[in-house]
């Protein structure tokens, strides 16, 4: 699956007031299991902050380009709503400048490298609004190893966080079982069931045990319906909308002589 996200970023730097800025992410995600996957992605964004403390006006802005690989875990799986967490490792490019887009003093002097390793930690929630498309809302905290995101060593490592809204599209692998219901995605495609829902018709009978997995039915008929309530499931009933005896394949007996007694119904031990 692939996706794109858009949101806002906020630097966490001692003595600096964070100014929110835009951030975007492109990513690819592969689910090894429905609840576990690997994600690789790249972000494009800006960090910005200022400090007016003690009549000193300090400002910085930095383009950031983080690239990372993350492991994804979904502790709870439902057909629609799934919380998740991710953690990983990446490398980020940054370049602190002033309001005129000129490199700040330490940046200009080459006092530090413009790349830093970082650990991205994310918590979010995913909502499927179609069978293979979902939106996600998440918050991420980025732990870096540099003290120079704002060009100044303030004695502590600089970090930042973001909040993002993602749109994701899934291409299901045929050999996987996305919803862990015992049917592969290929099986679900052939049965026309939902590969992300273990009970497509919502009748309480999982797809792999349901003989009619796309139509709500009854447990006594292995998930198949009995519309007319005659004790014969619709797929075996030649007259599914009209009650009839099993001996006549679920259809009512005819009354060919018009005497009000169905032909197949015995009267006082005599047939009609």
Q: Provide the token pair at 254.
A: 């005819």
Q: List strand residue ranges (DSSP E) for the chain, in order.
A: 2-12, 17-19, 21-33, 36-51, 58-73, 81-97, 115-130, 133-144, 159-169
pLDDT of 53 > 60? The answer is no
Mean pLDDT over all residues of the chain? 88
Which segments of 117-217 does DSSP mark as H helices, in order?
185-191
Residue 268 is predicted with a pLDDT of: 53
Between the CA of residue 110 and those of 104, 151, 159, what are the distances in Å?
10, 10, 21
pLDDT > 90: what percent of the chain? 55
Average pLDDT over residues 69-91: 93
């Amino acid at each position: 699956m692939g996706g794109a996200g858009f949101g806002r970023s906020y630097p966490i730097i001692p003595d600096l007031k964070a100014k929110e800025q835009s951030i975007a992410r492109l990513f690819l995600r592969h689910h090894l299991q429905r609840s576990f996957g690997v994600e690789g992605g790249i972000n494009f964004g800006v960090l910005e902050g200022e400090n007016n403390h003690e009549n000193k006006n300090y400002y910085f802005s930095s383009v950031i380009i983080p690239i990372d690989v993350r492991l994804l875990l979904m502790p709870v799986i439902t057909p629609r709503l799934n919380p998740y967490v991710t953690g990983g490792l990446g490398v980020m490019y940054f370049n602190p400048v002033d309001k005129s887009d000129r490199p700040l003093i330490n940046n200009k002097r080459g006092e530090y490298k413009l790349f830093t390793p970082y650990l991205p930690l994310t918590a979010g929630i995913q909502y499927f609004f179609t069978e293979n498309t979902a939106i996600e809302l998440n918050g991420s905290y980025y732990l870096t190893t540099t003290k120079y995101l704002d060009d100044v060593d303030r004695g502590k490592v600089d970090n930042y966080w973001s909040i993002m809204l993602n749109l994701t599209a899934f291409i299901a692998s045929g050999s996987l079982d996305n919803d862990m219901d015992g049917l592969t995605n290929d099986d679900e495609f052939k049965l026309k069931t939902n590969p992300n829902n273990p009970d497509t018709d919502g009748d309480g009978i999982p797809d792999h045990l349901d003989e009619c997995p796309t139509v709500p039915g009854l447990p006594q008929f292995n998930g198949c319906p009995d519309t007319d309530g005659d004790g014969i499931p619709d797929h075996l009933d030649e007259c599914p909308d009209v009650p009839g005896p099993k001996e006549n394949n679920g259809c009512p007996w005819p009354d060919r002589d018009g005497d009000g007694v169905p032909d197949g119904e015995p009267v006082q031990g005599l047939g009609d």
